[in-house]
């Protein structure tokens, strides 16, 4: 006998789970890098930067790196290391062939430093020579001034004619200097005046062009809009006389909305208030008045 129809007085209960007592962790979840790493003394010192090379006829040619101090940290010269490695490989091949070893190639940095030193020496020598020449010229000027101020009797010539000639020469020189200065001042004033006139003329032309463009734009707007230019719109509606050679006419004989599909819909629908108004407005392109006229004009 089945017990499916019996009521459930005691519901089924599952057993107690014990999976939560055991845990599984991945090593990726564990804390890592718990200690700081410090740079050691002379860690990045280049072994080839301070190497002593002893070229020998044998193939066992090595580079002896120097021990850098605890406070010396240099950047590795990878290019120099590559050159030294190539040099060692070439010497090994030459030793196998019975040839003499090649000399160690000089670093390009040292060559550049030597060239810079030579250029710097030349530049410093030229500057020193220029300073000495300037100093000598200043000393000569000071000596001349001191001699003329200390010994006025020696500075004056013994003859009155010579003194008169020297005074006239000095006056002429001072006059020429003052005249040249006045001419320079006048030239500068004229140049400033010319610049001001050119700037004023340029500004005036710019204002004139802007005003002309504004007027032409306003005229185009007024002529293009029929609401603002009613006279021109009325002239377009009226028939224009034929153009002759003496008086050419470029006016359009028809309005822009003359040849449209739905034209005079009010008269077509009989809403004009006239007694002869025709009814029967048709909202169909193939049966409209425009379509019939078009077919009669171009297809027939």
Token couple for 43: 């860690």
- Dist CA 25 CA 300 (whole Å): 94
- Structure tokens of 9? 């007085």
The model carries a pTM of: 0.21
Q: Is the pLDDT of residue 234 over 90?
A: no
- Residue ranges making up the domain that contains 148: 109-155
Look at residue 181 in the predicted model and tell me its pLDDT.
81
Has residue 34 been placed in a domain?
no
Q: Residue 52: its pLDDT value, please?
A: 43
pLDDT digits (tens, 9 = 90+) for 262-276: 666 655 555 444 555
What percent of the chain has a predicted confidence (pLDDT) above 70?
A: 52
Buried b (16+ CB within 10 A) or exposed e, 238-269: eeeeeeeeeeeeeeeeeeeeeeeeeeeeeebe
Q: What is the pLDDT of residue 209?
A: 94
Statement to judge: residues 204 and 218 lie in one domain: yes
Domain match, 80 and 121 both: no
Please give the pLDDT value at position 208. Answer: 94
Residues 234 and 195 in one domain: yes
- Provide φ and ψ at 108, rounded to 5°: -70, -30
User: Is the confidence at residue 3, as pLDDT, over 60?
Assistant: yes
Alpha helices in 32-107 (DSSP H): 78-97
Q: What is the pLDDT of residues 179-212, one digit of tens each?
A: 778 888 888 888 888 989 999 999 999 999 999 9
State the first-to-last Cα distance of the chain, in angstroms, to the nearest integer: 99
In a domain? residue 38 = no
- Both 96 and 121 in one domain: the answer is no
Residue 92 shares a structural domain with residue 114? no
For residue 16, pLDDT beyond 70: yes
Q: How many CB atoms lie within 10 A of CB 79?
A: 12
Is 180 contained in some domain? no
Q: Which of 217, 239, 261 is the last residue of a domain?
A: 239
Backbone dihedral angles phi then psi of residue 289, each to the nearest 5 degrees: -65, -35
Number of domains the chain is built from: 3
Distance, CA of 70 to CA of 42 (rounded, Å): 6
Domain annotation covers residue 141: yes
């Amino acid at each position: 006998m089945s017990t499916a129809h019996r009521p459930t007085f005691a519901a089924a209960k599952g057993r107690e789970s014990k999976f939560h007592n055991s845990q599984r962790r991945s090593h990726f979840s564990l804390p890592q890098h718990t200690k700081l790493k410090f740079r050691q003394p002379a860690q990045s010192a280049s072994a080839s930067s301070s190497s002593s090379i002893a070229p020998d006829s044998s193939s066992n040619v090595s580079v002896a790196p120097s021990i850098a101090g605890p406070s010396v940290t240099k950047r590795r010269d990878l290019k120099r290391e590559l050159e030294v490695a190539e040099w060692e490989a070439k010497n090994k091949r030459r030793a196998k062939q019975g040839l003499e070893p090649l000399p160690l190639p000089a670093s390009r940095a040292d060559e550049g430093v030597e060239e810079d030193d030579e250029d710097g020496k030349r530049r410093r020598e030229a500057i020193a020579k220029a300073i000495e020449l300037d100093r000598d010229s200043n000393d000569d000027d000071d000596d001349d001034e001191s001699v003329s101020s200390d010994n006025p009797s020696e500075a004056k010539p013994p003859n009155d004619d010579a003194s008169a000639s020297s005074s006239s020469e000095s006056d002429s020189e001072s006059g020429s200097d003052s005249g040249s200065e006045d001419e320079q001042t006048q030239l500068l004033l004229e140049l400033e005046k010319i610049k001001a006139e050119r700037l004023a003329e340029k500004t005036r032309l710019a204002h004139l062009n802007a005003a002309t463009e504004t007027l032409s734009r306003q005229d185009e707007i007024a002529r293009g809009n029929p609401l603002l230019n009613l006279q021109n719109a009325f002239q377009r509606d009226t028939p224009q006389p034929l153009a002759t050679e003496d008086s050419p006419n470029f006016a359009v004989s028809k309005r822009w909305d003359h040849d449209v599909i739905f034209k005079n819909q009010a008269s077509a629908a009989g809403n004009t208030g006239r007694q002869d108004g025709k009814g029967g407005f048709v909202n169909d392109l193939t049966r409209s008045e425009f379509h019939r006229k078009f077919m009669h004009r171009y297809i027939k």
